[in-house]
Protein backbone atom coordinates (compact mmCIF):
# COMPACT_ATOMS: atom_id res chain seq x y z
CA UNK A 1 0.00 0.00 0.00
CA UNK A 2 1.91 3.04 -1.29
CA UNK A 3 -0.60 5.80 -0.58
CA UNK A 4 -0.13 7.49 2.77
CA UNK A 5 -3.65 8.92 2.50
CA UNK A 6 -5.12 5.40 2.21
CA UNK A 7 -2.99 4.19 5.10
CA UNK A 8 -4.11 7.00 7.38
CA UNK A 9 -7.78 6.55 6.47
CA UNK A 10 -7.79 2.76 6.88
CA UNK A 11 -5.78 2.97 10.09
CA UNK A 12 -8.25 5.50 11.49
CA UNK A 13 -11.24 3.35 10.60
CA UNK A 14 -9.57 0.25 12.04
CA UNK A 15 -8.85 2.17 15.22
CA UNK A 16 -12.49 3.23 15.39
CA UNK A 17 -13.68 -0.36 14.95
CA UNK A 18 -11.33 -1.73 17.58
CA UNK A 19 -12.38 1.05 19.96
CA UNK A 20 -16.04 0.19 19.44
CA UNK A 21 -15.40 -3.50 20.05
CA UNK A 22 -13.38 -2.73 23.16
CA UNK A 23 -16.18 -0.48 24.39
CA UNK A 24 -18.72 -3.27 23.99
CA UNK A 25 -16.48 -5.81 25.74
CA UNK A 26 -15.74 -3.45 28.62
CA UNK A 27 -19.40 -2.57 28.97
CA UNK A 28 -20.36 -6.24 29.01
CA UNK A 29 -17.54 -7.13 31.40
CA UNK A 30 -17.75 -4.29 33.90
CA UNK A 31 -21.52 -4.00 34.12
CA UNK A 32 -22.29 -7.69 33.62
CA UNK A 33 -22.77 -8.64 37.27
CA UNK A 34 -25.01 -5.69 38.13
CA UNK A 35 -26.92 -5.93 34.85
CA UNK A 36 -27.50 -9.65 35.37
CA UNK A 37 -28.79 -9.03 38.92
CA UNK A 38 -31.11 -6.27 37.67
CA UNK A 39 -32.49 -8.45 34.89
CA UNK A 40 -32.97 -11.33 37.32
CA UNK A 41 -35.00 -9.14 39.63
CA UNK A 42 -37.00 -7.74 36.74
CA UNK A 43 -37.57 -11.23 35.33
CA UNK A 44 -38.88 -12.49 38.67
CA UNK A 45 -41.27 -9.54 38.81
CA UNK A 46 -42.53 -10.43 35.32
CA UNK A 47 -42.91 -14.06 36.42
CA UNK A 48 -44.91 -13.12 39.51
CA UNK A 49 -47.29 -11.04 37.41
CA UNK A 50 -47.52 -13.87 34.87
CA UNK A 51 -48.43 -16.41 37.62
CA UNK A 52 -51.08 -14.00 38.93
CA UNK A 53 -52.54 -13.62 35.42
CA UNK A 54 -52.47 -17.41 34.94
CA UNK A 55 -54.26 -18.14 38.22
CA UNK A 56 -56.79 -15.36 37.64
CA UNK A 57 -57.71 -15.86 33.99
CA UNK A 58 -56.11 -19.16 33.01
CA UNK A 59 -54.12 -19.75 29.85
CA UNK A 60 -56.00 -17.01 28.00
CA UNK A 61 -55.07 -14.33 30.54
CA UNK A 62 -51.46 -15.56 30.58
CA UNK A 63 -51.37 -15.40 26.76
CA UNK A 64 -52.59 -11.79 26.77
CA UNK A 65 -49.98 -10.86 29.39
CA UNK A 66 -47.02 -12.45 27.52
CA UNK A 67 -48.18 -10.86 24.27
CA UNK A 68 -48.12 -7.49 25.99
CA UNK A 69 -44.56 -8.18 27.24
CA UNK A 70 -43.52 -9.16 23.72
CA UNK A 71 -44.75 -5.85 22.36
CA UNK A 72 -43.13 -3.77 25.10
CA UNK A 73 -39.68 -5.39 25.01
CA UNK A 74 -39.51 -6.59 21.36
CA UNK A 75 -38.85 -10.14 22.52
CA UNK A 76 -40.74 -13.44 22.94
CA UNK A 77 -41.82 -14.68 26.39
CA UNK A 78 -42.88 -18.16 27.45
CA UNK A 79 -44.10 -19.29 30.88
CA UNK A 80 -43.49 -23.00 31.67
CA UNK A 81 -43.97 -25.23 34.64
CA UNK A 82 -41.35 -27.28 36.51
CA UNK A 83 -41.16 -29.87 33.70
CA UNK A 84 -40.75 -27.22 30.96
CA UNK A 85 -44.30 -27.49 29.57
CA UNK A 86 -45.68 -24.26 28.10
CA UNK A 87 -48.68 -23.15 30.22
CA UNK A 88 -50.34 -21.53 27.17
CA UNK A 89 -49.72 -23.94 24.29
CA UNK A 90 -48.77 -27.10 26.21
CA UNK A 91 -45.57 -27.56 24.19
CA UNK A 92 -42.41 -28.90 25.76
CA UNK A 93 -39.90 -26.01 25.96
CA UNK A 94 -37.42 -27.54 28.38
CA UNK A 95 -34.77 -27.46 25.62
CA UNK A 96 -34.94 -23.69 25.60
CA UNK A 97 -33.94 -23.26 29.21
CA UNK A 98 -30.21 -22.31 29.20
CA UNK A 99 -27.88 -24.33 31.35
CA UNK A 100 -25.88 -22.82 34.14
CA UNK A 101 -22.43 -21.71 32.87
CA UNK A 102 -19.22 -21.43 34.89
CA UNK A 103 -17.34 -19.58 32.20
CA UNK A 104 -15.09 -16.75 33.28
CA UNK A 105 -16.39 -13.22 33.15
CA UNK A 106 -14.15 -12.14 30.23
CA UNK A 107 -15.14 -15.14 28.11
CA UNK A 108 -18.79 -14.67 28.93
CA UNK A 109 -18.60 -10.98 28.05
CA UNK A 110 -16.89 -11.77 24.74
CA UNK A 111 -19.56 -14.37 23.99
CA UNK A 112 -22.32 -11.87 24.64
CA UNK A 113 -20.63 -9.30 22.37
CA UNK A 114 -20.28 -11.93 19.63
CA UNK A 115 -23.97 -12.87 19.96
CA UNK A 116 -24.84 -9.18 19.84
CA UNK A 117 -22.83 -8.52 16.65
CA UNK A 118 -24.01 -11.71 14.91
CA UNK A 119 -27.61 -11.20 15.91
CA UNK A 120 -27.79 -14.57 17.68
CA UNK A 121 -30.80 -15.19 19.93
CA UNK A 122 -30.20 -14.42 23.58
CA UNK A 123 -32.23 -16.57 25.98
CA UNK A 124 -32.69 -15.85 29.67
CA UNK A 125 -34.72 -17.84 32.23
CA UNK A 126 -35.99 -16.91 35.69
CA UNK A 127 -37.53 -19.36 38.16
CA UNK A 128 -40.01 -18.64 40.90
CA UNK A 129 -38.90 -19.06 44.51
CA UNK A 130 -40.63 -22.46 44.81
CA UNK A 131 -39.29 -23.61 41.42
CA UNK A 132 -42.74 -24.47 40.05
CA UNK A 133 -42.75 -21.82 37.32
CA UNK A 134 -40.21 -20.37 34.93
CA UNK A 135 -40.38 -17.47 32.45
CA UNK A 136 -38.23 -17.70 29.33
CA UNK A 137 -37.32 -14.54 27.35
CA UNK A 138 -35.96 -14.86 23.80
CA UNK A 139 -34.57 -11.69 22.22
CA UNK A 140 -32.44 -10.63 19.28
CA UNK A 141 -30.17 -7.60 19.77
CA UNK A 142 -30.70 -6.45 16.18
CA UNK A 143 -34.46 -6.79 16.10
CA UNK A 144 -34.62 -3.01 15.72
CA UNK A 145 -31.89 -2.86 13.06
CA UNK A 146 -33.96 -0.58 10.91
CA UNK A 147 -33.99 2.03 13.66
CA UNK A 148 -30.35 1.69 14.76
CA UNK A 149 -28.46 1.15 11.53
CA UNK A 150 -28.95 4.64 9.98
CA UNK A 151 -27.41 6.24 13.07
CA UNK A 152 -24.36 3.98 12.94
CA UNK A 153 -23.92 4.61 9.23
CA UNK A 154 -24.26 8.36 9.74
CA UNK A 155 -21.63 8.35 12.51
CA UNK A 156 -19.24 6.29 10.36
CA UNK A 157 -19.67 8.66 7.42
CA UNK A 158 -19.02 11.75 9.56
CA UNK A 159 -15.94 10.20 11.17
CA UNK A 160 -14.65 9.05 7.77
CA UNK A 161 -15.01 12.58 6.37
CA UNK A 162 -13.19 14.07 9.35
CA UNK A 163 -10.40 11.53 9.06
CA UNK A 164 -10.14 12.19 5.33
CA UNK A 165 -9.66 15.92 6.02
CA UNK A 166 -6.86 15.13 8.46
CA UNK A 167 -5.25 12.73 5.99
CA UNK A 168 -5.53 15.20 3.10
CA UNK A 169 -3.93 17.98 5.17
CA UNK A 170 -1.03 15.76 6.25
CA UNK A 171 -0.46 14.22 2.82
CA UNK A 172 -0.71 17.53 0.95
CA UNK A 173 1.90 19.12 3.23
CA UNK A 174 4.25 16.16 2.83
CA UNK A 175 3.77 16.20 -0.94
CA UNK A 176 4.61 19.90 -1.01
CA UNK A 177 7.83 19.22 0.89
CA UNK A 178 8.60 16.31 -1.43
CA UNK A 179 8.07 18.43 -4.54
CA UNK A 180 10.24 21.22 -3.16
CA UNK A 181 12.99 18.73 -2.25
CA UNK A 182 12.83 17.18 -5.73
CA UNK A 183 13.10 20.58 -7.42
CA UNK A 184 15.92 21.58 -5.10
CA UNK A 185 17.74 18.34 -5.88
CA UNK A 186 17.43 19.07 -9.61
CA UNK A 187 19.30 22.34 -9.17
CA UNK A 188 16.53 24.86 -8.46
CA UNK A 189 18.22 26.42 -5.45
CA UNK A 190 15.30 28.84 -4.98
CA UNK A 191 12.78 26.01 -4.45
CA UNK A 192 11.03 26.38 -1.09
CA UNK A 193 7.99 24.99 0.72
CA UNK A 194 5.27 27.64 0.49
CA UNK A 195 3.62 28.38 2.75
CA UNK A 196 5.30 26.84 5.81
CA UNK A 197 2.70 28.08 8.30
CA UNK A 198 1.83 24.85 10.12
CA UNK A 199 2.77 24.84 13.79
CA UNK A 200 3.12 21.07 14.20
CA UNK A 201 5.98 18.68 13.39
CA UNK A 202 5.25 18.87 9.65
CA UNK A 203 5.50 22.66 9.84
CA UNK A 204 8.80 22.28 11.69
CA UNK A 205 9.98 19.96 8.92
CA UNK A 206 9.00 22.49 6.25
CA UNK A 207 10.74 25.36 8.05
CA UNK A 208 13.82 23.20 8.63
CA UNK A 209 13.89 22.35 4.91
CA UNK A 210 13.61 26.02 3.97
CA UNK A 211 16.38 26.94 6.40
CA UNK A 212 18.57 24.13 5.08
CA UNK A 213 17.88 25.22 1.50
CA UNK A 214 18.80 28.82 2.32
CA UNK A 215 22.05 27.68 3.92
CA UNK A 216 22.93 25.36 1.04
CA UNK A 217 22.16 28.05 -1.52
CA UNK A 218 24.39 30.47 0.40
CA UNK A 219 27.19 27.89 0.54
CA UNK A 220 26.86 26.98 -3.13
CA UNK A 221 26.78 30.63 -4.16
CA UNK A 222 29.76 31.33 -1.94
CA UNK A 223 31.69 28.40 -3.39
CA UNK A 224 30.87 29.44 -6.95
CA UNK A 225 31.96 32.99 -6.24
CA UNK A 226 35.06 31.70 -4.48
CA UNK A 227 36.00 29.52 -7.45
CA UNK A 228 35.54 32.45 -9.79
CA UNK A 229 37.63 34.67 -7.56
CA UNK A 230 40.33 32.02 -7.14
CA UNK A 231 40.59 31.46 -10.88
CA UNK A 232 40.83 35.23 -11.39
CA UNK A 233 43.40 35.71 -8.64
CA UNK A 234 45.62 32.88 -9.84
CA UNK A 235 45.92 34.27 -13.34
CA UNK A 236 48.13 37.22 -12.42
CA UNK A 237 50.79 35.42 -10.32
CA UNK A 238 50.84 32.49 -12.74
CA UNK A 239 51.31 34.84 -15.70
CA UNK A 240 54.07 36.72 -13.87
CA UNK A 241 55.64 33.40 -12.89
CA UNK A 242 55.64 32.22 -16.49
CA UNK A 243 57.15 35.52 -17.62
CA UNK A 244 59.82 35.30 -14.93
CA UNK A 245 60.65 31.73 -15.92
CA UNK A 246 61.02 32.78 -19.55
CA UNK A 247 63.08 35.77 -18.47
CA UNK A 248 65.40 33.55 -16.43
CA UNK A 249 66.46 31.82 -19.62
CA UNK A 250 67.62 34.96 -21.41
CA UNK A 251 68.24 37.57 -18.70
CA UNK A 252 71.86 38.43 -17.96
CA UNK A 253 71.11 38.67 -14.22
CA UNK A 254 69.66 35.24 -13.51
CA UNK A 255 69.77 35.75 -9.73
CA UNK A 256 67.35 38.67 -10.02
CA UNK A 257 65.09 36.57 -12.22
CA UNK A 258 65.17 33.70 -9.74
CA UNK A 259 64.38 36.13 -6.90
CA UNK A 260 61.41 37.32 -8.92
CA UNK A 261 60.29 33.72 -9.39
CA UNK A 262 60.59 33.10 -5.66
CA UNK A 263 58.54 36.23 -4.98
CA UNK A 264 55.74 34.98 -7.22
CA UNK A 265 55.92 31.52 -5.64
CA UNK A 266 55.61 33.11 -2.19
CA UNK A 267 52.59 35.03 -3.47
CA UNK A 268 50.98 31.79 -4.62
CA UNK A 269 51.87 30.10 -1.33
CA UNK A 270 50.27 32.91 0.67
CA UNK A 271 47.17 32.79 -1.52
CA UNK A 272 46.77 29.03 -1.10
CA UNK A 273 47.37 29.28 2.67
CA UNK A 274 44.72 31.97 2.92
CA UNK A 275 42.26 29.81 0.97
CA UNK A 276 42.93 26.90 3.33
CA UNK A 277 42.31 29.09 6.36
CA UNK A 278 39.09 30.39 4.82
CA UNK A 279 37.89 26.87 4.04
CA UNK A 280 38.66 25.57 7.51
CA UNK A 281 37.01 28.52 9.22
CA UNK A 282 33.87 28.22 7.07
CA UNK A 283 33.52 24.50 6.45
CA UNK A 284 34.64 22.87 9.68
CA UNK A 285 32.88 24.67 12.57
CA UNK A 286 32.26 21.36 14.34
CA UNK A 287 36.01 20.73 14.50
CA UNK A 288 36.64 23.88 16.53
CA UNK A 289 37.42 23.35 20.18
CA UNK A 290 35.51 25.07 22.94
CA UNK A 291 37.93 26.46 25.53
CA UNK A 292 37.89 29.47 27.77
CA UNK A 293 39.77 32.23 25.94
CA UNK A 294 41.16 35.24 27.82
CA UNK A 295 41.07 37.95 25.18
CA UNK A 296 43.63 40.11 26.99
CA UNK A 297 46.21 37.33 26.73
CA UNK A 298 45.35 36.81 23.05
CA UNK A 299 45.90 40.51 22.33
CA UNK A 300 49.26 40.48 24.15
CA UNK A 301 50.38 37.48 22.11
CA UNK A 302 49.27 39.01 18.80
CA UNK A 303 50.91 42.37 19.60
CA UNK A 304 54.20 40.61 20.37
CA UNK A 305 53.95 38.64 17.10
CA UNK A 306 53.19 41.73 15.00
CA UNK A 307 55.88 43.92 16.62
CA UNK A 308 58.42 43.26 13.86
CA UNK A 309 55.94 44.16 11.10
CA UNK A 310 55.00 47.33 13.00
CA UNK A 311 58.67 48.21 13.30
CA UNK A 312 59.13 47.80 9.54
CA UNK A 313 56.19 50.14 8.94
CA UNK A 314 57.51 52.52 11.65
CA UNK A 315 54.15 52.57 13.44
CA UNK A 316 53.35 52.28 17.12
CA UNK A 317 50.95 49.78 18.67
CA UNK A 318 49.01 51.02 21.68
CA UNK A 319 46.82 48.72 23.78
CA UNK A 320 44.17 50.12 26.08
CA UNK A 321 41.57 48.63 28.40
CA UNK A 322 40.94 45.14 29.68
CA UNK A 323 38.11 42.62 29.93
CA UNK A 324 36.70 41.13 33.11
CA UNK A 325 35.06 38.28 31.20
CA UNK A 326 36.33 35.40 29.11
CA UNK A 327 34.83 34.00 25.95
CA UNK A 328 34.43 30.38 24.92
CA UNK A 329 35.76 29.08 21.63
CA UNK A 330 38.81 27.92 19.72
CA UNK A 331 41.81 29.93 20.96
CA UNK A 332 43.77 29.35 17.74
CA UNK A 333 40.94 30.70 15.57
CA UNK A 334 40.32 33.67 17.88
CA UNK A 335 44.05 34.49 17.82
CA UNK A 336 44.07 34.24 14.02
CA UNK A 337 41.13 36.63 13.73
CA UNK A 338 42.75 39.27 15.95
CA UNK A 339 46.08 38.76 14.17
CA UNK A 340 44.54 39.25 10.73
CA UNK A 341 42.81 42.47 11.75
CA UNK A 342 45.93 43.86 13.42
CA UNK A 343 48.18 43.01 10.45
CA UNK A 344 45.62 44.60 8.12
CA UNK A 345 45.70 47.77 10.25
CA UNK A 346 49.51 47.84 10.30
CA UNK A 347 49.66 47.28 6.53
CA UNK A 348 47.41 50.26 5.82
CA UNK A 349 48.70 52.55 8.51
CA UNK A 350 50.69 55.61 7.51
CA UNK A 351 54.46 55.57 8.15
CA UNK A 352 55.26 56.77 11.68
CA UNK A 353 51.57 56.33 12.36
CA UNK A 354 49.60 54.78 15.21
CA UNK A 355 47.50 51.63 15.61
CA UNK A 356 45.20 51.45 18.65
CA UNK A 357 43.91 48.21 20.19
CA UNK A 358 41.11 48.77 22.70
CA UNK A 359 39.70 45.94 24.83
CA UNK A 360 36.28 46.42 26.41
CA UNK A 361 33.47 44.26 27.68
CA UNK A 362 29.79 44.56 28.33
CA UNK A 363 27.34 42.21 29.99
CA UNK A 364 27.77 38.93 28.14
CA UNK A 365 30.19 40.27 25.49
CA UNK A 366 33.92 40.96 25.06
CA UNK A 367 35.15 43.33 22.33
CA UNK A 368 38.46 44.14 20.65
CA UNK A 369 38.54 47.30 18.53
CA UNK A 370 41.57 47.89 16.27
CA UNK A 371 41.99 51.26 14.57
CA UNK A 372 44.56 52.53 12.10
CA UNK A 373 45.08 56.14 11.07
CA UNK A 374 45.36 55.51 7.35
CA UNK A 375 43.09 56.75 4.57
CA UNK A 376 40.13 54.52 5.43
CA UNK A 377 37.69 52.92 3.00
CA UNK A 378 35.14 54.66 0.76
CA UNK A 379 31.70 54.35 2.33
CA UNK A 380 30.08 52.52 -0.62
CA UNK A 381 32.76 49.81 -0.31
CA UNK A 382 32.75 49.56 3.47
CA UNK A 383 30.23 46.71 3.57
CA UNK A 384 32.25 44.65 1.07
CA UNK A 385 35.64 44.54 2.74
CA UNK A 386 34.77 41.19 4.37
CA UNK A 387 34.20 39.54 0.99
CA UNK A 388 36.90 37.15 -0.27
CA UNK A 389 39.44 38.79 -2.64
CA UNK A 390 37.88 42.22 -2.30
CA UNK A 391 40.39 45.09 -2.32
CA UNK A 392 39.96 48.82 -2.52
CA UNK A 393 41.63 50.10 -5.66
CA UNK A 394 43.42 53.23 -4.55
CA UNK A 395 45.24 52.65 -1.26
CA UNK A 396 44.57 48.94 -0.69
CA UNK A 397 45.68 47.32 -3.93
CA UNK A 398 47.60 44.13 -4.55
CA UNK A 399 50.94 45.89 -4.36
CA UNK A 400 50.44 46.59 -0.68
CA UNK A 401 50.45 42.82 -0.03
CA UNK A 402 47.85 40.20 0.77
CA UNK A 403 45.33 38.37 -1.36
CA UNK A 404 42.16 40.00 -0.03
CA UNK A 405 41.36 37.07 2.25
CA UNK A 406 42.37 38.35 5.68
CA UNK A 407 39.11 40.07 6.65
CA UNK A 408 37.05 37.34 4.97
CA UNK A 409 38.76 34.82 7.27
CA UNK A 410 38.00 37.09 10.23
CA UNK A 411 34.31 37.17 9.38
CA UNK A 412 34.13 33.38 9.00
CA UNK A 413 35.84 32.84 12.36
CA UNK A 414 33.50 35.27 14.07
CA UNK A 415 30.46 33.57 12.50
CA UNK A 416 31.68 30.17 13.72
CA UNK A 417 31.83 31.61 17.26
CA UNK A 418 28.42 33.35 16.88
CA UNK A 419 30.07 36.70 17.44
CA UNK A 420 29.88 40.06 15.70
CA UNK A 421 32.29 42.03 13.51
CA UNK A 422 31.85 45.52 12.10
CA UNK A 423 33.94 48.12 10.28
CA UNK A 424 33.58 51.89 10.39
CA UNK A 425 35.48 54.85 9.07
CA UNK A 426 36.90 57.09 11.81
CA UNK A 427 38.23 59.99 9.67
CA UNK A 428 41.07 59.39 9.60
CA UNK A 429 41.53 55.67 9.52
CA UNK A 430 39.43 52.53 9.75
CA UNK A 431 38.26 50.80 12.94
CA UNK A 432 37.31 47.13 12.96
CA UNK A 433 35.57 45.76 16.07
CA UNK A 434 35.34 42.07 16.89
CA UNK A 435 32.92 40.84 19.58
CA UNK A 436 32.64 37.41 21.20
CA UNK A 437 29.99 36.24 23.65
CA UNK A 438 31.34 35.90 27.20
CA UNK A 439 30.94 32.72 29.23
CA UNK A 440 32.32 33.70 32.64
CA UNK A 441 34.35 36.31 34.46
CA UNK A 442 38.06 36.31 35.16
CA UNK A 443 39.91 38.11 37.91
CA UNK A 444 42.84 40.20 36.70
CA UNK A 445 45.76 40.94 39.00
CA UNK A 446 46.02 44.41 37.57
CA UNK A 447 44.14 46.26 34.89
CA UNK A 448 45.74 47.07 31.60
CA UNK A 449 47.08 50.54 31.37
CA UNK A 450 47.80 52.32 28.08
CA UNK A 451 51.04 50.89 26.68
CA UNK A 452 52.78 50.91 23.37
CA UNK A 453 54.99 48.66 21.30
CA UNK A 454 57.36 50.11 18.78
Q: What are the structural domains of the chain?
A: 31-143 (3.30.450.170), 150-238 (1.10.287.130), 288-444 (3.30.565.10)
Comparing 23 with 373, which gets the higher pLDDT?
A: 373
| Span between the terminal Cα atoms of the chain, in Å | 78
C-alpha distances in angstroms, 226 versus 4, 155, 380, 399, 411? Answer: 43, 64, 22, 21, 15
Give the integer Cα–Cα distance in Å for 173 and 202. 7
The string over 346-385, giving b where at least 16 C-beta atoms fall within 10 Å of a residue's C-beta and e elsewhere, is bbbbeeebbbbbbbbbeeebbbbbbbbbbbbbeeeebeeb
Confidence band for 454, pLDDT divided at 50, 70 and 90: very low
What is the Cβ-side half-sphere exposure of residue 295, based on CA atoms within 13 angstroms?
32
Q: Is the confidence at residue 14, as pLDDT, over 70?
A: yes
Q: Is the confidence at residue 156, as pLDDT, over 80?
A: no
Confidence band for 369, pLDDT divided at 50, 70 and 90: very high
Percent of the chain with pLDDT over 90: 14
Look at 163-167, 221-225, 383-387, 425-429 and tell me which has the smallest mean pLDDT. Answer: 221-225
pLDDT of residue 370: 93
Q: Is the confidence at residue 75, as pLDDT, over 90?
A: no
Confidence band for 233, pLDDT divided at 50, 70 and 90: low
pLDDT of residue 434: 93
pLDDT in tens, 36-45: 677 778 888 8
Confidence band for 359, pLDDT divided at 50, 70 and 90: very high
Radius of gyration of the chain from its Cα atoms, rounded to whole angstroms: 46
pLDDT of residue 218: 78
Confidence band for 451, pLDDT divided at 50, 70 and 90: very low
Average pLDDT taken over every residue of the chain: 77
Confidence band for 444, pLDDT divided at 50, 70 and 90: very low
Q: What would the mean pLDDT of 77-106 be, rounded to a whole number?
A: 81
Cβ count within 10 A of residue 221: 11
Binning the chain into helix, strand and coil, the percentages to the nearest 5 are: 60, 15, 25
C-alpha distances in angstroms, 409 versus 165, 237, 279, 376? Answer: 52, 21, 9, 20
Give the integer Cα–Cα distance in Å for 181 and 184. 5
The DSSP line for 77-107 is EEEEETT-BBTTT--B-GGGSPPP----HHH
Nearest to 369 by CA among 385, 358, 382: 358
Amino acid sequence: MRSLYTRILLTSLATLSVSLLAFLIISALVGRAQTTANFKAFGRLELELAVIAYHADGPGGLARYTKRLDGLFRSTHYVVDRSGTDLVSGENRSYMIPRTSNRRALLAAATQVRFFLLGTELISANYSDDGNYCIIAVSRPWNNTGAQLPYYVFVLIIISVLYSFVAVRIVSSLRAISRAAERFGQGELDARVEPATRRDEIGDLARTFNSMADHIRMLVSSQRRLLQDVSHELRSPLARLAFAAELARTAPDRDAAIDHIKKQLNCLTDLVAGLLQLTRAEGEPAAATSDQVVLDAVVQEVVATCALQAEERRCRLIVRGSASQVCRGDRILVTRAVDNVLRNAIQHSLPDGLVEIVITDEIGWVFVAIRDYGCGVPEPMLSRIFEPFFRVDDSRQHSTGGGGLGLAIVQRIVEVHHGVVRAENMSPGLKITIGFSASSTVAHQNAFSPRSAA
